[in-house]
């Protein structure tokens, strides 16, 4: 693996990489992955491919009467030879009017979001299945707005119990989107 170029190593990592959605948003009622989940899942690849990952942040615009503070987060993969690197960025605004949060929490929330999406850009993580990316926060669910049903979640366990008690998979599919793997697990 050490003879691969950094682009080849990154391509291999992008193909192999999986990060669990270990966090639950009780307001939106969905599971999501955090920047910490992604970073934890990356650790085995450091040794396997001889690479390192870092995230840097920069305040690129300060608050004025018209503009929000803007954070730029850059996720970078380095070849351990110290020569080659590849980066991806994400830019987010900091909502200083967000209710229920102090200023450090507002910046921290924006920072976490930017890190997550910078890593997602670098690793080609498809968040179309992540309710955090598709949630419209409205009352009328459209098929694209339905929550994803993931294994090992309370919803998944309820779905299994529902089916064991004579429930119909079509009813579950009307409330959740699911991968073929999850559907197969439910119907076995």
The CATH number that applies at residue 43 is 3.30.390
The answer to whether residue 75 is domain-embedded is yes
pLDDT tens-digit map of 60-112: 877 666 678 899 999 999 998 888 999 999 999 888 887 888 888 989 889 99
The answer to whether residue 136 is domain-embedded is no
Backbone angles phi, psi at 153, to 5 degrees: -120, 160
pLDDT tens-digit map of 21-66: 777 777 777 778 888 889 999 999 999 999 999 999 999 877 666 6
Q: How far apart are CA 125 and CA 89, in angstroms?
A: 13
Domain span including residue 122: 6-126
**In whole angstroms, how far apart are CA 138 and each of 6, 14, 27, 28, 96?**
43, 33, 12, 10, 23
Residue 175 binned pLDDT confidence (cut-offs 50, 70, 90): confident
The answer to whether residue 166 is domain-embedded is no
The answer to whether residue 95 is domain-embedded is yes
The answer to whether residue 176 is domain-embedded is no
The answer to whether residue 54 is domain-embedded is yes
Residues 74, 63 contacting (CB under 8 angstroms): no
- Give me the number of domains the chain comprises: 1
Residues 129, 150 contacting (CB under 8 angstroms): no
């Amino acid at each position: 693996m050490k003879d691969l170029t950094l682009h080849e190593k990154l391509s291999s990592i992008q193909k192999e990489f999986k990060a669990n959605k270990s966090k639950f948003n009780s307001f939106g009622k969905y599971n999501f992955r955090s920047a910490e989940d992604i970073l934890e899942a990356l650790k085995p690849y450091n040794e396997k491919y001889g690479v390192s990952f870092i995230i840097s942040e920069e305040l690129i615009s300060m608050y004025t009467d018209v503009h929000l503070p803007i954070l730029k987060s850059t996720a970078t993969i380095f070849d351990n030879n110290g020569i080659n690197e590849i980066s991806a960025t994400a830019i987010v605004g900091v909502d200083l009017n967000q209710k229920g949060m102090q200023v450090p929490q507002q910046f921290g929330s924006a920072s976490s979001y930017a890190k997550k999406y910078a890593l997602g850009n670098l690793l080609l993580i498809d968040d179309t299945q992540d309710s955090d990316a598709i949630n419209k926060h409205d009352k009328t669910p459209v098929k694209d707005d339905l929550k994803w049903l993931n294994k090992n979640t309370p919803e998944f366990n309820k779905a299994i119990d529902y089916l064991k008690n004579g429930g119909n998979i079509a009813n579950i599919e009307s409330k959740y989107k699911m991968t073929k793997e999850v559907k197969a697990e439910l119907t076995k």
